[in-house]
């Protein structure tokens, strides 16, 4: 089963000239979604991890199931103003506009080994901001994962020492 077959192209979304990659068909097909989750889990089963951190909102769909399957705590990284309690923030220049993400101050402890999971890595700015949040809290980024990677935009360059892995590349 080729997971790429379950990604729909949506031209001119969210603005003219963008070829949006829609994960809805993958999520709507139980076999494709299962294969996706099984592949992510297979990659990280033998990696020493303490937590899975995942991004608002589509990253939650993948990260939460992987955390469940690996028996690990889930850390939510959300858009500014969506988390209760004390948070730390990181701003970045996204593909379409500037953005700010937050994580709870008490969600990562010093030395925690954390895997970041998102649905898409384009230029890598959001993932890089997530790495900064984890490191500011004393955690160690053990890996970055995106279901879809736009390798033509070279997100790995921005991520530097943090290895990016993916299942589908454009």
pLDDT over threshold 90, residue 128: yes
Does residue 32 form part of some domain? Answer: no
Q: What is the mean pLDDT of residues 71-93?
A: 97
Burial of 129 (0-12, 13-18, 19+ CB in 10 A): buried
Percent of the chain with pLDDT over 70: 100
Give me the catalytic one of 8, 31, 42, 58: 58
41: in domain: no
Model pLDDT, residue 149: 98
Stretch 62-74: mean pLDDT? 98
- The per-residue DSSP string of 101-168 comes to EEEETTSS-TT-EEEEEEEEESSSHHHHHHHHHHHHTT-EEEEEEEEEE-GGG-HHHHHTTS-EEEEE
Residue 76 within a domain: yes
Q: What is the CB-side half-sphere exposure of residue 59 using CA atoms within 13 A?
A: 24
pLDDT of residue 113: 98
94 inside domain: yes
User: Using alpha carbons only, what angle is made at residue 128 by residues 122 and 130, rounded to the nearest 5 degrees?
Assistant: 115
Q: Summarize pLDDT for 5-51 with one digit per residue, the tens.
A: 999 999 999 999 999 999 999 999 999 999 999 999 999 999 999 99
- As for how many domains the chain has, the answer is 1
> Residue range 80-106: average pLDDT?
95
Strand order in the sheet with 74-79: 87-93, 98-104, 74-79, 51-55, 113-121, 140-149, 164-169
Strands 74-79 and 87-93, bridge-based pairing: unpaired
Residue 91, pLDDT score? 98
- 3-class SS at 98? strand
Task: Name the catalytic one among 78, 95, 135, 165.
Answer: 95
For residues 16 and 26, give the distance between their C-alpha atoms in angstroms, rounded to a whole number.
Answer: 24
* Domain containing residue 108: 47-169
pLDDT band at 157 (very low <50, low <70, confident <90, very high): very high
Q: For residue 81, give the CATH number of its domain.
A: 3.40.50.2020
- In contact, 142 and 124? CB cutoff 8 Å: no
Q: Catalytic site residue 95? A: yes
**Does residue 36 fall inside a structural domain?**
no
Task: Flag whether pLDDT at 95 surpasses 90.
Answer: no
In this prediction, residue 101 has a pLDDT band, given cuts at 50, 70 and 90, of very high
pLDDT at 94: 87
Per-residue confidence (pLDDT) for residue 96, from 0 to 100 = 82
Amino acid 145: pLDDT: 98
Q: Respond yes or no: is residue 58 known to be catalytic.
A: yes
In a domain, residue 31? The reply is no
Give me Rg for the CA atoms of the chain.
15
- Kindly tell me if the per-residue pLDDT of 80 is higher than 90: yes
Q: What is the mean pLDDT of the chain?
A: 97
Q: Is 18 inside a domain boundary?
A: no
Residue 19 lies in a domain: no
Mean pLDDT (whole number) for 112-128: 97
């Amino acid at each position: 089963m080729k997971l790429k077959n379950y990604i729909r192209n949506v031209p001119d979304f969210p603005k003219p000239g963008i070829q949006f990659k829609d994960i809805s068909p993958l999520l709507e097909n139980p076999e494709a979604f299962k294969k996706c989750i099984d592949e992510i889990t297979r990659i990280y089963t033998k990696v020493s991890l303490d937590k899975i951190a995942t991004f608002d909102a589509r990253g939650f769909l993948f990260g939460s199931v992987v955390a469940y399957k690996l028996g690990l705590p889930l850390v939510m990284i959300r858009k500014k103003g969506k988390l209760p309690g004390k948070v730390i923030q990181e701003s970045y220049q996204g593909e379409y506009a500037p953005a700010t993400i937050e994580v709870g101050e008490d969600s990562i402890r010093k030395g925690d080994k954390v895997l970041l999971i998102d649905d898409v890595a384009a230029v890598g700015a959001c993932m890089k901001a997530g790495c900064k949040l984890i490191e500011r809290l004393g955690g160690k980024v053990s890996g970055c994962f995106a279901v879809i990677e736009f390798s033509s935009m070279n997100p790995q360059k921005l991520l530097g020492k943090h290895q990016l892995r993916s299942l589908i590349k454009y």
